Amino acid sequence: MGLHMLVYAFLIFYPLFLIWRWIDGKRDQECYILDYECYKPTDDRKLDTEFSGEIIKRSKNLGLNEYKFLLKAIVSSGIGEQTYGPRMIFAGREENPTYEDGILEMEEFFQESIQKLLSRTGISPQEIDALVVNVSMLSAVPSLSARIINHYKMREDIKVFNLTGMGCSASLISVNIAQNLFKTYKNSYTLVITSESLSPNWYAGNNRSMILANCLFRSGGCAILLTNKRALKHKAMFKLKCLVRTHHGARDDSYDCCLQKEDEQGRVGFHLGKNLPKAATRAFVDNLRVISPKILPVRELLRFLIVSFIKKWSSQIRSSSSSKGGEDRAVINFKTGVDHFCIHTGGKAVIDGIGVNLDLTEYDLEPARMTLHRFGNTSACSLWYVLAYMEAKKRLKKGDRILMISFGAGFKCNSCLWEVVRDLDGSNVWKDCINDYPPKTLTNPFMEKYGWINNEDESTFAVPS
């Protein structure tokens, strides 16, 4: 009788034990942001209107048509006068950068931001279990990750990932690596470092598709400390709910629209093709198809399906009766599952396009617009400046959900959803200027200072001294 009871108890409780172990294991696989630190370069690296004009005038390869193109691009870019550039520009060496220029630019960021982040969280460098570094356009030997490990004397068994060439969407790829590590390693810390090295990548030619990058990209960086430690979940800032990556590299037009290459004179630059908006939209739509069911309530998905069917049916009836009229498409309401939108600051057109596609208000787009104006397009780390703006404005409350959307060369669209774990009202990179935003106008003073270029004649034009 006793043996039978033991067998029955085993049959009943062992499955429950397995279920409990599975649930308990899942809890250890959560991904939290403990803290993050956006980098603010020193004031002597600010690119105001007058100095930007001086940089353009220094180039011997630009003519009147290129001047007009750059004027139009800068005025419509949405970028203000407080952004930062690499030191070699201020030294007048942008056409002849050295290897050390790129290393110096990165080490300034590494040493300040990582130190501040670790000091604020009370975590020592020896406690870091994994390091993920993404800097797309600087490949150093030893690697940039090795330089960080050497500077901070991290452990010998640290897991290291050094990403290059991943473009503006690389920081979410780095987060995805951390997320996957947490599925295997319990009670871990992962340090993600995201930035871009502009020093060795200035384009000195006159190809319009390549000089555009000089106008848009600015210096920046962010260090992010992630963990899956259950004991720290109440101290964390954000919890990762889901992450989706879309890659259209198999499509030739998508692959070619955002490319580092040489121009006709052999000068290396970053080509931004005319088909970039189309490629971005296509990747964005495909990404949304995957992430929408993961983040939106069922009622909104059902409403969208029903409305889409009705509109399609109505359109077919109109077509059969030969009546004219524009296509009336259904729009999914992302605000039913998302409270804040953290959008990559790829440019004014990128922000406007996402706003139209997701039917967002100016309030929703404000963080991305202000980040573009204050810091410019800082490549993969731009998302974190947008997030910091929301935090500095005290918009982020416990339970809020934030959708991050990024684009990058390849062509890629990556997105993820974060949940705010606790009310956030701390100071960050915006603390010295947040009360000045949003400003009364985002109009760039370039037109006021250099608008006369539009009235010049090519046959008589001379670069002013």
- Cβ within 8 Å of residue 243, ≥6 positions away: 172, 175, 176, 179, 414, 415, 416, 417
Q: From CA 215, how far away is CA 221, in angstroms rounded?
A: 18
Token reading at 22: 């599975």
Taking the C-alpha atoms of residue 71 and residue 52, their distance in angstroms, rounded to an integer, is 11
| Cβ within 8 Å of residue 278, ≥6 positions away | 253, 257
Q: List C-alpha distances in Å: 39 to 82, 166, 452.
A: 14, 20, 36
| CA contacts within 13 A on the Cβ side of 374 | 25
Residue in 176, 377, 414, 444 annotated catalytic: 377
Task: Report how far residue 386's alpha carbon sits from residue 392's, in angstroms, rounded to the nearest whole number.
Answer: 10
- Alpha-carbon span 232 to 249, nearest angstrom: 38
Catalytic choice (168, 215, 257, 416)? 168
Q: Quick check: 339 and 402 in contact, CB under 8 A? A: yes
Catalytic residue flag (residue 340): yes
Closest C-alpha among 341, 370, 337, 367 to residue 354: 341
Establish how many alpha carbons lie within 13 A of residue 272's alpha carbon, considering only the half-sphere containing its beta carbon.
Answer: 19
Locate 69 and state its tokens: 């193109």
230 DSSP 8-state letter: G
Q: Can you tell me the distance from the alpha carbon of 250 to that of 453, in angstroms, rounded to the nearest whole number?
A: 42
Give the integer Cα–Cα distance in Å for 168 and 175.
14
Q: Which of 31, 222, 287, 344 is catalytic?
A: 344
- Which listed residue (206, 340, 381, 416) is catalytic? 340
Mark whether 176 is an active-site residue: no
For Cα atoms 20, 23, 26, give the angle at the middle one, nearest 5 degrees.
150
* Of 373, 413, 428, 444, catalytic: 373
∠ CA 374-104-155, nearest 5°, is 105
Enumerate residues 6+ apart whose C-beta is below 8 A from 52.
Answer: 74, 446
- Is 168 marked active-site? yes
234 is catalytic: no
Q: What are phi and psi of 12, to 5 degrees?
A: -85, -50
Q: What CA–CA distance (Å, rounded) separates 375 from 79?
A: 8
Tokens of 217: 């990209």
Catalytically annotated residues? 168, 247, 340, 344, 373, 377
